[in-house]
Structures are given as structure tokens and as C-alpha cells.
Structure 1
Amino acid sequence: MNDLAQSEQLLKTLGSAPQQTSETPLSKSWLLGFDTETTGARPGRDAIVSATLVLRNPELGHDHDVLGEWIINPHRHMSPGASKVNGFTDDYLEEHGIEPEEALESITKVIVSAQNSNIPLLAYNAPFDVAMLQHDLGQWKLDTLESRITNDSLLIVDPLVIDRAVSHRSGKRTLSYTTEYYGVEPDGDFHNATADTVAAVDLIGPMTTLYPQVGRLKIGELMAWQQHAHGIWKDSFNQWLTSKGRRPIQDGWFE
């Protein structure tokens, strides 16, 4: 299935999805997973080279996901570090990547359709992927996400923020470690946008089962709850950084 057909299938499925309300609990919510691979880690200077959207109907589960995958020619060089991680090269992207305007417009239309039905966008460490998308939209003079949606702001689910708030475990919180903790089997190799997206969406099932308070979270409460949770984590992390003589972080979470 080509990029256009995948986008049309996602939009068609979203068209038949229920209009969720602010009262819909996270455990019963449709979700639109999102992940990117990029030329580097600096939004505004780097760009998306691969993106995946995964639409999950909670009643049907993993096996009935609707996927869209895009390989994009960013018209800028891959950094050696990023290329080593995600495997993309300048030559490959130039040969196989579609033009950014086409890909970004397709991706954005699907996200906006989901947002307008109160279907959250789910991404692990979501500020990075959303910032990359926003900067790329601006780079190619395309309308922003916020200017297209009917809600006041984006509706996001970030399993990293949720896990930090409820699991109180030690150790790393990369996607690979977190999926192992929750017993999620990856569908492919990590640092592949599709494998990472599916794994991130798969986390919600065990999270909402192990922590019923997360499953009971209503769509209308999600953003404020995650902002508060991130603030508590940031304060604690900054205390640790300061104790080590390191500079505190300033980043908020969609504030």
C-alpha cells in the first residue's frame, strides 16, 4: 500500500470512529500512536526522515491496528550519530523518500482528524516528536497543527510521563526498558518508527491494568494530569542534578 492509500485508509477509519468526549476513560479510548526517526536530535535544525501513525481501536486491539508509514527526503544531511541509530543514509532517503510537503500534509491531516474526534495522539517522550513535526511544518510553510484543530490545544498521551508518575521504579526509562518492564513484546527492532509506535501504544493496556487510576483517567483530565506529573518529576530530577553540581532542566510538558 502506498503512502496516499495508507493515509486514506487511516482517514476512512477515523471517519467511522466514535466521537469521544471529555468523559471517555483512557482505558477505553481510541489512540493514534506517533513516532519519528530524524536526521538528528535538534528540532528546528534537524528534520523527520521516517514517521509512523498507528490507529488503535481498544475493542479490537493490536491485530486490527491501521498503520501509515512515511519515508521522507528531508533535503538535508543525516548526522552520523542518527544514521548509526536508525540506519537511514542520505543516498537511501534521496532515492526512496517522498517530498516533505506531501508527507507532512498527509501526516498532519490524519492527526487533525483524530484530534477533532478527541482521539489522543500518543507518543513516547511526545514533546520531541511533536516539536519535530511542528518545526518541519514551519520549514515547508504548512499550517500548524494547532491552527487546524477545533480543540483549544493538542490532546496528547505520553507513556513516559505516565510511567514516571506511577511506577516508582529504578533504572532507565527508555522505550526498550519500559516495554520490558510492562511485558510488552516489541514487533520489530527499536529505533524503527513503526516498531516504536506499536510498542508505545501497546504500553497503555498493561499500564491501565496495573494502575487502575490511570485507566480511569478521563480524556478531559489527561493534559492537566500529565503536566502536573511532569512537574513533580522535574522538581525531583532537578534536585538530583543540583546535588551532582549539574544544571537543572527547564523544559515543561506542553505548557
Structure 2
Amino acid sequence: MSHRPSDRPPLREVPDWMRVVGVFDLETTGVDVAVDRIVTAHVGLLDADGGVVRARDWLADPGVAIPEAASGIHGITTSHARTHGRPAREVVAEVVTAVRAVLDAGIPVVAYNAPFDFSMLKYESLRHGVPPIEDPSPVIDPLVVDKACDRWRRGKRTLAVVAAHYAVRLDAAHEASADAVAAGRVAQALAGRYAPWLPATAHELHTSQIAWARAQAESLTDYFIRIGRLEPDDRLDGRWPIR
């Protein structure tokens, strides 16, 4: 699916799930979801206008040194985390509880590049003996939806770039609360712009994203093989929203 608003679609109201959305983001010690650790987290709720109606933030002592490269991105140093952060197990348990509560209420949770955050949370849960969220649903991933709706748009698809494209303000990129809120507002912008082509319910959209993410991974794999970045037998993991 790839559509633009100028294609003059049939009229339809924006999806009901826009009335309230959950938002979820993690900042971590690195990008390996099975090895790296959570440093900060944010879980909140946005109303239909993108206003924050509930928000909670966490700072964890991950129990390992935070690499300088990671600190340079999110601004949290090892010293700061050890001094001000709470035990990692407590933070992980509370984040799992908060995310699960939103999902159990039937509210979709928005996470930009959802497989990273949900997979990281799963492996951290297993590490600390916390029952993990095995099959989160409904989830909305603005990265997947944007690629599906506007496939041929050139340029990067980082949160900062995509937020700017949809005129969503992002003042503090790579800070968990700012990223989470911006991702939620991007999801709402996508729903407003592409409502006629998107499924009417969050659960239907969740199911569609599973297929879209798989197809996007396959397409990117083929491209990487063509330019020599991957070997012909290698494939990118297209599982979504958790790997």
C-alpha cells in the first residue's frame, strides 16, 4: 500500500483509536535487544488532540557501564544512572505493568520501530525474572505505517525526520518522553492523513502491520543484497511487533 492524500480517496472519519493512544519508548545502553539494557523509559497516554493526559518516566541503574556512544545519544552517563537510577529489576517490572495495563484496557500502544522497544523489554524481563509481554497487541508503529502509506518518499525515516515531515514538534530527540510523545502524535497525523486507506480498528491495523513489516524487511533485504551489504543467503528479520 502506498497512497498520497492527493489521490482523492472516499471520505471516511478518522479511526476511533485516535481518541486515545498509549505511547512507549526506551533509551538503552545499545541496540542489541538481547544483550543491552534499559536506561530510561516512558509510558503515557495522549488524547485525540495529542495532549498528554498521563505520563510516567523511569531512570534505571542498568547494572552495567553505559557506553559513551549511548550516553552521547540520550545524555545519561554511567555515573548519573548509578547515583540517581533505581534498581533495574524494579524499573523493568513497573514498565511491564504500565504497558500491559494500557494494552489490557484495549488502548493501542504507539512505539516507533516497535520491535526494538518491545523486544528489549521482553529480554530485560527474562533477565530479571519478570513475566514478559509475549504478544503485545494492539500496537501502532508509525515507522511501518509511514512506509506503507508513502512508500516511495525519499530520505531517512528516523523519528526526527518523519516527525518533521508530518509537522510534529520534537524538541529533545532521544529523550524517552519526548520521543514517545512525538511518536504518538506522528501516529495520529498518519491516521488523519491516510484514514481512508487504514483499517478502522486498532486490532485490524495491528494485523496489517505484521504483513507490512514482513514485506518491508523483504524489500530492504533484496536491496541490501543488490548493493553488496548482505550476502544472498542472509535475510533481515521482519517479525513485528516483537522479535
What TM-score results when the alignment is normalised by the length of structure 2? 0.85
Aligned to 2:5: none
1:166 aligns with 2:115: no
Greater Cα shift, 92-101 or 208-217: 208-217
Aligned to 1:6: none
After the TM superposition, which residues 187-202 of structure 1 pair with which residues of structure 2 at under 5 Å, given as runs?
188-202=171-185
Pairwise CA RMSD: 1.9
Aligned to 1:235: 218
Q: Which amino acid aligns with 2:166?
A: Y
8 Å contact from structure 2 (residues 27, 41) kept in 1: yes
Greater Cα shift, 163-172 or 108-117: 108-117
C-alpha deviation, 1:170, in angstroms: 0.8
Change (3 A) 1:64 1:44: closer
Instruction: Choose which of 24, 47, 54 in structure 2 pairs with 1:57.
Output: 47
C-alpha deviation, 1:29, in angstroms: 4.4
C-alpha deviation, 1:76, in angstroms: 0.6
**Structure 1 unmatched runs, 5+:** 1-23, 147-151
C-alpha deviation, 1:156, in angstroms: 1.0
C-alpha deviation, 1:216, in angstroms: 4.5
Instruction: Choose which of 100, 120, 123 in structure 2 pairs with 1:132.
Output: 120
What TM-score results when the alignment is normalised by the length of structure 1? 0.82
Change (3 A) 1:101 1:164: same
Q: List 4+ stretches of structure 1 deviating above 6 A.
A: none
Identity %: 28
Change (3 A) 1:30 1:63: closer
Secondary structure at the counterpart of residue 72 of structure 1? strand
State the distance in 1 between where 2:236 and 2:198 align.
Answer: 30
Change (3 A) 1:41 1:26: farther
Q: Which amino acid aligns with 1:205?
A: Q
8 Å contact from structure 1 (residues 157, 222) kept in 2: yes
Instruction: Choose which of 71, 91, 103 in structure 1 pairs with 2:79.
Output: 91
Aligned to 1:254: 241
| Residues 37-88 of structure 1 deviation map (CA, whole Å, 9 limit, x = unaligned) | 1011111211000001121232xx3334211000000111111211111111
Secondary structure at the counterpart of residue 112 of structure 1? helix
